[in-house]
A and B are shown apart, each in its own frame.
Chain A
Amino acid sequence: MAGQIIALASLKGGCGKSTLALNLAAGLARSGSVGLVDSDPQGALRHWADWAESAGGEGLPQVLAGGADPVAVIVEAARRHRYVVVDCPPSLDRVVTRRVLRRVDRVLIPVLPSPLDLWACAETVAAVREAREHNPGLRAWLLINQAEPSSALSRAMSRALSSLDVPTLSCAVRRRAAFRTAALEGVSVYQLGARGREAAREIDQVIEEVNRT
């Protein structure tokens, strides 16, 4: 993802945009400087960073508030950092996500293994298509988050998603306590040591696959 701007976006709330944005940023930070832009007015990442600071934690990438003009913040961050990771707000109705999608190089769309999330992600795919009219180089992937390998529905998701015209990453992120523990401790899964090892390995795989494809 050299010199790249990558967004985490979805029409659906609660699919893991903020969790994945923070942990992907932490993973990327091991190979270059990262600016993490919080373009969500809810400010989950700013909260995470504040909490990390008050808990004395270290090692989180720098979180930049998107403020009134997240695109300007993204452009500025791209000048200073090798990677820029952008956390988007939940709703595509918001002008913010549409504007961000016109400016970024790549977008990951997290999707939970559930029909409701599957349906909503079809609309997000339509928004990507629309963004490409202005940003033809935009590359996009669906990413199954909170996968439960023992559930038949989780396993059936990949096939259902393959009927959409955005590819799905072959690696998925499993539902793991480590992702929540990390938030509680004001760190990324990389700082959880043995408790976060599997989660960190999954984030590494996401980075590797996005780089490779």
Chain B
Amino acid sequence: MSKLEDKLTASIKPGQRKAPAGKPEAPAAAAPVPVAKASVKAVVLDTAALPHPDRVWPD
């Protein structure tokens, strides 16, 4: 049995793998950091450049 097979099989039920005794639980995830508004750019779609919707398959 290969290492890859072992890893893939173990990955199905990660919750069943007990943390080693005495080790603390992983700390709670940090609060999400909001994305700065300035980093979000509006995308303008140039509809005139798109193929006509009736076209079945664009060339």
Which residues from chain A sit less than 8 Å from chain B, CB to CB? 115, 118-119, 122, 152-153, 156-157, 159-160, 163-164
Contacts and interface: CB of A to CB of B under 8 A. Distances in A.
Interface residues of B, number: 9
A122 B12 CA distance: 7
Interface of B: 1-2, 4-5, 8-9, 11-13
Kindly list the 6 A-B residue pairs having the minimum CB-CB distance in the complex, ordered from nearest: A160-B8, A159-B5, A160-B9, A156-B5, A156-B4, A156-B8
Contacts, number: 30
A115 B7 CA distance: 10
A171 B13 CA distance: 25
Given A156-B2, A159-B1, A118 B8 contact: yes
15 contacts: A115-B8, A118-B11, A119-B11, A119-B12, A152-B4, A153-B8, A156-B2, A156-B4, A156-B5, A156-B8, A159-B8, A160-B5, A160-B8, A160-B12, A164-B12
